[in-house]
Amino acid sequence: MESVIHLLKIRCSKSTGFFYQCNLVTEKDFVLRYDKATIKKELANMKIKLNPDQEIVSTIRKGLKRTGGYCPCLRERTEATKCMCQEFKNPIADPGFEGVCHCMLYYKSL
């Protein structure tokens, strides 16, 4: 509930200062928006691109929707398997790494 309250305060109109005029956003919506923003930021900073094959991208994105954002290629549902999974985040921290993630959704170039 704290996340929802925090988000409501952020969304309030600065001119009125009244909290009852805010849009009610669920915690799930907040998490999904945060995840998308985080992924976009990581992509911009790390030279990571989506797979150019749109069929693969479409299939993986459908799987991500079905699994609630967890890697559709892995059975385990933990924070480590939330897209962009830890299995890909660890090697991309190395500036010399070039390759794809487990699902082939993302590709990191040098």
- Full 3-state SS string of 45-67: HHCEEECCCHHHHHHHHHHHHHH
pLDDT at 23: 43
C-alpha dihedral sign at 67, 70, 71, 73: negative
Closest CA to 91 of 83, 102, 103, 79: 102
Q: Residues in the chain, how many?
A: 110
pLDDT surpassing 90 at residue 59: yes
- For β-strands 48-50 and 99-100, DSSP reports them as unpaired
Q: In this model, does residue 65 exceed pLDDT 50?
A: yes
Instruction: Give the model's confidence band at 53: pLDDT under 50 very low, under 70 low, under 90 confident, else very high.
Output: very high
Look up residue 66 and give its amino acid.
R
Q: How far apart are CA 72 and CA 101, in angstroms?
A: 12
Contact between 73 and 59 (Cβ < 8 Å): no
CA distances from 67 to 18, 85, 90 (A): 37, 13, 22
Q: What is the pTM of this model?
A: 0.55
